[in-house]
Chains A and B, each alone.
Chain A
């Protein structure tokens, strides 16, 4: 992987990270968008699409409400895509088993995103406490102070991305050759387990009466039609 790729994916990680809370909220930060974008930056959007599709449902039900901070699925998506695409030249591995292995490595590291996000929000609070502009009431100063928050959130995104990339690379470099056989053996079931767990968690968290009945009816009806046709 060239250093230019790191610069571009780092920039993407920062911009997509800002989209989560601090800027726009166009949902470029969702795995289904961020991962294919990272793949596109690195020349293979399809790998990104695979990562995004596997990851999308996992934390979709976690609502970013008030002070609740979900794990950073944006950086997990981008980090896993970058890891999956850098494994090929590094270890000569590619395909779905590598995507799954990289995702399994990146997912626990998403917890760091929660930590860094919390730190960014605390840093914003400190910024406001320490600065006298809030008390003095100069509007121009207030505007500058507000925009400084972008730096805190951008740094949090970059830090998460860096942790996923560094720890992930170290882990995969040492353990991928040992684990890849098991991942290949488990194959399809492993791939579908992501969607199944994601769908089940979403079903559990979407708060609507008759939700389970609707899900069961849709599942049974569709599978019957597909089986019997």
Chain B
């Protein structure tokens, strides 16, 4: 089944199939992750069903060749790059000029999307969802893992699915469209929210700990300088494994001595 020029920009059956297969395969983007070319084969794997629909069963060698290059972006933003790439491939296959060289386009967008994705999902949404779930876990609620998964995966799946649609139907304009969402600002808000919740959680645990030890909660303020000191160590590159092992060993030693 080849994609006709007429059906290219509409939700015709081949386009639906192309988008669905690309979406499903985006979950396997990093399966062959390697140090040499990172996600190159994963990206090709993701767009292969689309290329088959665009070019038919005989995909030209040069088309495959341009997608074997080094590729690395955030896995949740890769479908958007894939969508735009497939749109450009469809334009090229129809004998028209896609305006930008496809390989250059991929090279141009992968790094900014990687930076936005890392900051938004790994640095923003994930800590925020985790801290909210930890509040529930502190109460012994078994809903905590489900709440974490729901809070994290809702934006994750919207980004994957919406990104693919935006990339395919927007083509090169997708890059301009994504700027309207102010994702870097959103990631800063998520990080700020995480830090505030982290402060609240530490205070709550300090209060709970003091109550369990039958001492006034004001003793919990001791935690603050310790937390800030450890944060400073972490910023200087001291590993969390080292910090936890030193802290727990010291506490164990103190428990044995006193």
Q: Write the nearest CB–CB distance from B222 to chain A, whole angstroms.
A: 11
Total B residues in contact with A, Cβ cutoff 8 Å? 96
Q: Write the nearest CB–CB distance from A25 to chain B, whole angstroms.
A: 6
From known contacts A142-B41, A146-B28, A227-B207, infer whether A218 and B234 are also in contact, taking CB-CB under 8 Å: no
Q: Does B240 contact A (CB under 8 A)?
A: yes
CB-based contact A205/B145 at 8 Å: no
CB-based contact A150/B137 at 8 Å: no
> Using Cβ atoms and an 8 Å threshold, which residues of chain B touch A1?
none
Minimal Cβ-Cβ distance residue in B for A135: B68
CB-based contact A188/B195 at 8 Å: no
> Using Cβ atoms and an 8 Å threshold, which residues of chain A touch B197?
218
Q: Name 8 extra pairs, CB < 8 A, besides A124-B34, A206-B191.
A: A22-B31, A30-B126, A32-B133, A36-B145, A139-B64, A193-B248, A211-B195, A215-B227
> Using Cβ atoms and an 8 Å threshold, which residues of chain B touch A45?
142
Q: Does A116 contact B (CB under 8 A)?
A: no
Secondary structure of the B contact surface, majority rule = helix
Q: Does A153 contact B (CB under 8 A)?
A: yes
CB-based contact B202/A195 at 8 Å: yes
In the assembly, what is the distance between CA of A108 and CA of B248, in Å? 13
Minimal Cβ-Cβ distance residue in A for B27: A24
Secondary structure of the A contact surface, majority rule = helix
From known contacts A188-B209, A189-B251, A227-B216, infer whether A203 and B195 are also in contact, taking CB-CB under 8 Å: yes
In the assembly, what is the distance between CA of A226 and CA of B203, in Å? 8
From known contacts A22-B31, A32-B145, A196-B223, infer whether A208 and B248 are also in contact, taking CB-CB under 8 Å: no
Q: What 0/1 pattern do residues 210 to 225 of B give for CB contact below 8 A with A?
A: 0011001110110110
CB-based contact B48/A143 at 8 Å: yes
Minimal Cβ-Cβ distance residue in A for B243: A197
CB-based contact A139/B41 at 8 Å: no
> Which of B137, B233, B248 lies at the interface centre, i.e. has the most chain A CB atoms within 10 A of its CB?
B248
In the assembly, what is the distance between CA of A188 and CA of B218, in Å? 17
Q: What 0/1 pattern do residues 184 to 196 of A give for CB contact below 8 A with B?
A: 0111111011111
Q: Does A177 contact B (CB under 8 A)?
A: no
Q: What 0/1 pattern do residues 31 to 46 of B give for CB contact below 8 A with A?
A: 1111111100110110
From known contacts A63-B122, A142-B48, A146-B32, infer whether A219 and B149 are also in contact, taking CB-CB under 8 Å: no
> Using Cβ atoms and an 8 Å threshold, which residues of chain B touch A134?
41, 68
Q: What 0/1 pattern do residues 123 to 157 of A give for CB contact below 8 A with B?
A: 01101110000100101001101111110010000
From known contacts A27-B148, A108-B245, A190-B251, infer whether A153 and B31 are also in contact, taking CB-CB under 8 Å: yes
In the assembly, what is the distance between CA of A21 and CA of B93, in Å? 33
> Using Cβ atoms and an 8 Å threshold, which residues of chain A touch B142?
36, 45-46, 49
> Using Cβ atoms and an 8 Å threshold, which residues of chain A touch B232?
204
Q: Does B192 contact A (CB under 8 A)?
A: yes
From known contacts A30-B148, A208-B191, infer whether A196 and B202 are also in contact, taking CB-CB under 8 Å: yes
List residues of chain A with CB under 8 Å of any chain B CB: 21-28, 30, 32-33, 36-37, 45-46, 49, 52-53, 56-67, 71, 100, 104, 107-108, 110-111, 121-122, 124-125, 127-129, 134, 137, 139, 142-143, 145-150, 153, 179, 182-183, 185-190, 192-208, 210-212, 214-223, 226-227
Q: Does B176 contact A (CB under 8 A)?
A: no
Q: Write the nearest CB–CB distance from B35 to chain A, whole angstroms.
A: 5
Nearest first, the 10 closest Cβ-Cβ pairs linking A and B are: A218-B199, A204-B234, A200-B230, A149-B32, A222-B203, A185-B255, A125-B34, A204-B231, A227-B217, A186-B255
Q: Write the nearest CB–CB distance from B14 to chain A, whole angstroms.
A: 18
In the assembly, what is the distance between CA of A189 and CA of B251, in Å? 7
Query: Per a CB cutoff under 8 Å, which of A142, A195, A223 touches B44?
Result: A142
In the assembly, what is the distance between CA of A195 and CA of B244, in Å? 10
Q: Write the nearest CB–CB distance from B154 to chain A, whole angstroms.
A: 11
> Using Cβ atoms and an 8 Å threshold, which residues of chain B touch A147?
28, 31-32, 45
Q: Does B1 contact A (CB under 8 A)?
A: no
